[in-house]
Amino acid sequence: MSSFLLLRSRLLTTATPAKAIVPPLTRGFRHSAISMGLSSKLKPAARVSGQRQDVWSFINEAAAASPKQPIVNMGQGFFGYNPPAFLLDAAKEALDRVDCNQYCHTKGRPRLKKAIADAYSPFWGREINPETEVTVTTGANEGMLSAFMAFIEDGDEVIVFEPFFDQYISNIEMPGGKVVYVPMHPPATGATKTSSAADWTIDFDELEKAITPKTKMIVLNTPHNPVGKVYSREELQKIGDLCVKHEIIILSDEVYDRLFYVPFTRIGSLSPEIANLTLTVGSAGKNFYATGWRVGWLIGPEHLIKYVSAAHTRICFVTPSPLQEACAVGFEKAEAAGFWDETIKEMKGKIDRLNAVWDELGMPYSEPEGGYFVLVNMAKVKLPEDYPFPPHVINRPRDFKLAWFLIQEVGVAAIPPTEFYTAENAHLAENYIRFAVCKEDSVLEEAKNRLRGLKKYIQE
Ligand SMILES: Cc1ncc(COP(=O)(O)O)c(C=O)c1O
């Protein structure tokens, strides 16, 4: 269990969380309610109060402390450019329409549900029913929270592969679920040789051993953040077969489904038995470069989708209506505008553009098969022995030190991926750093110029 999770589970059993372990940037509620002398009755719930400094605050703090201003931010996966004009125009038009500015059906605007069903039916090889098999959510994240809220009760187990998208964990734990971790194994030669993201593999014996009678769900992410792996058809078939055998719901997070550089298979399309158990998650934010719009959806069989919709209704009622309308237009126009092909070409171009600098520096990386993250192995970077890391960095895994060092010395922010691991398995990723390439080309070029400054720290 990661110290993050350890800390959290410890706090779940402690009436008042220990003050000393709260880093300054994340004191938040506890600071105001407890340390300012207010009644302990006002203490925040453990689910939000026990978190140690999250990786995003860590990066912000490191950036603020760096002499290399402004920092080139390749950390968080938001786009450095706007959605396509056909989407922006549609949003502006939607804002002028009375019906678009009001509540819509909690399951989503009919036009968006239809546009999603039309766009995805060809991948499933059958007609998806927009009324019963699609539900619109407030981003993929809230969609997944709704799925967990819909099916997970106290003590139910959910299998999650490591590294994981960090929101899964709290979303599973909120309804009382227990996360069971199964690691993805990095390529054995990752520290010395560039390899394909396909070489991060699952040990299927480990996966089967993780299944118990309490296993209710498994979370899959393909294309994968942060690894960039696109699960092969064979891997998905094996996972699907196990889920059918043990009757486990598959929550397939496919938010990067339009960004694949090798053939991409959707687990829900493999067989009717697997489809019966599969909820597929999508994100207009990722598809259309609009992460701030908070429009996502789930596709799945009626017997699963109706409960996800019920949970979504309780959590946030509806998703912003004008932006749903704009996303509907986006789906209607994207194919004819050549947008899906263009998005792949552009993103792959950005990946290659950045990776040229690693080739130049002789630094191995994991060649992404999908998505927009690159994992670079920095085992060769020799951190100076006497480097003045602040106290809250010194005790974190090596990738946190690398991230801090990169920000201070070359002025480039990137993410330490052990944040997405438990403590037992953090060693698997402690030499890696994750770079988001969904930025303007000029930003990538500036990042490359700066990253060349690492040369003097590289030891073969
Ligand atoms: C794997 C994965 N799933 C889900 C999300 C969240 O998507 P959304 O912004 O639509 O909530 C992200 C965002 O970074 C992600 O990387």
CATH number, position 105: 3.40.640.10
Q: What is d(CA 107, CA 125) in angstroms, rounded to the nearest whole number?
A: 23
For residue 329, is pLDDT > 70?
Answer: yes
23 Cβ contact list (under 8 Å, min separation 6): 52, 53, 57, 392
**Cross-strand partners of 458:** 381
CA of 18 to the centre of ligand 1 (A): 31
Say which CATH number the domain at 440 has: 3.90.1150.10
Percent of the chain with pLDDT over 90: 86
Mutate which of 56, 78, 116, 141 for ligand 1? The one with the most ligand atoms within 8 Å of its CB, which is: 141
Percent of the chain with pLDDT over 70: 91
Together in a domain, 39 and 53: yes
pLDDT at 40: 84
Together in a domain, 432 and 301: no
Tokens of 49: 């109060």
Q: What is the mean pLDDT of residues 245-271?
A: 98
Q: Which atom of ligand 1 is nearest to the CA of 371?
A: 16
Tokens of 17: 């969380």
For residue 174, is pLDDT > 80?
Answer: yes
Residues in contact with ligand 1 (CB, 6 Å cut-off): 77, 139-141, 165, 221, 225, 253, 255, 283, 285, 291, 296
Contact present, 415 and 358 (Cβ < 8 Å): no
Residue 244, domain extent: 85-334
Domain-terminating residue out of 273, 303, 334: 334
Strand arrangement of the beta sheet that strand 178-185 belongs to: 134-137, 296-299, 278-283, 249-253, 215-221, 157-162, 178-185, 201-202
Q: What is the mean pLDDT of residues 289-304?
A: 98
pLDDT at 37: 60
CA of 56 to the centre of ligand 1 (A): 15
Contact present, 140 and 253 (Cβ < 8 Å): yes
DSSP label at 102? S
Tokens of 441: 């080309």
CA of 75 to the centre of ligand 1 (A): 14
Q: What is d(CA 165, CA 422) in angstroms, rounded to the nearest whole number?
A: 12
> What is the per-residue pLDDT across 383-411, written as a single tens digit (0 to 9) for each?
999 999 999 899 999 999 999 999 999 99
Q: Which atom of ligand 1 is nearest to the CA of 284?
A: 10
Alpha helices in 247-377 (DSSP H): 272-275, 284-287, 302-315, 321-334, 339-361
Together in a domain, 137 and 39: no
Q: What is d(CA 180, CA 458) in angstroms, rounded to the nearest whole number?
A: 37
Together in a domain, 95 and 195: yes
| Range from 24-38, 83-97, 120-134, 303-317 carrying the lowest mean pLDDT | 24-38
Together in a domain, 66 and 137: no
| Range from 3-7, 157-161, 259-263 carrying the lowest mean pLDDT | 3-7
CA of 79 to the centre of ligand 1 (A): 13
The count of domains in the chain is 2
Mutate which of 286, 291, 419 for ligand 1? The one with the most ligand atoms within 8 Å of its CB, which is: 286
Domain-terminating residue out of 334, 366, 384: 334
Q: What is the mean pLDDT of residues 54-80?
A: 93
Q: What is d(CA 304, CA 282) in angstroms, rounded to the nearest whole number?
A: 16
Alpha helices in 19-54 (DSSP H): 28-30, 46-49
300 Cβ contact list (under 8 Å, min separation 6): 133, 268, 278, 279, 280, 308
203 Cβ contact list (under 8 Å, min separation 6): 182, 183, 185
Look at ligand 1, atom 16, and give the residue with the nearest C-alpha: 225
CA distances from 433 to 44, 365, 393, 402 (A): 33, 9, 15, 8
Together in a domain, 57 and 92: no
Dihedral pair phi/psi, residue 78, rounded to 5°:
-100, 155
Together in a domain, 115 and 221: yes
Mean pLDDT value across the chain: 91
Together in a domain, 322 and 435: no
> What is the per-residue pLDDT across 336-385, written as a single tens digit (0 to 9) for each?
999 999 999 999 999 999 999 999 999 999 999 999 999 999 999 999 99
pTM confidence score? 0.91
Together in a domain, 178 and 272: yes
CA of 229 to the centre of ligand 1 (A): 15
Q: What is the mean pLDDT of residues 307-311?
A: 98
Classify residue 115 by burial, with Cβ atoms within 10 Å: 0-12, 13-18, 19+.
Answer: buried
CA-nearest of 416, 414, 419, 417 to 443 is 414
pLDDT at 48: 81
Q: Which atom of ligand 1 is nearest to the CA of 77?
A: 14
pLDDT at 8: 30
Q: What is the mean pLDDT of residues 81-103?
A: 98
For residue 10, is pLDDT > 90?
Answer: no
pLDDT at 46: 83
CA of 255 to the centre of ligand 1 (A): 6
pLDDT at 51: 62
For residue 123, is pLDDT > 90?
Answer: yes
Together in a domain, 47 and 168: no
Together in a domain, 26 and 97: no
Q: Could you identify the residue written with the tokens 């022995």? A: 385
Domain-terminating residue out of 286, 306, 334: 334
Contact present, 218 and 239 (Cβ < 8 Å): yes
Q: How confident is the model at residue 6 (pLDDT cuts 50, 70, 90)?
A: very low
Together in a domain, 91 and 60: no
Greatest distance between any 2 Cα atoms in the chain: 64
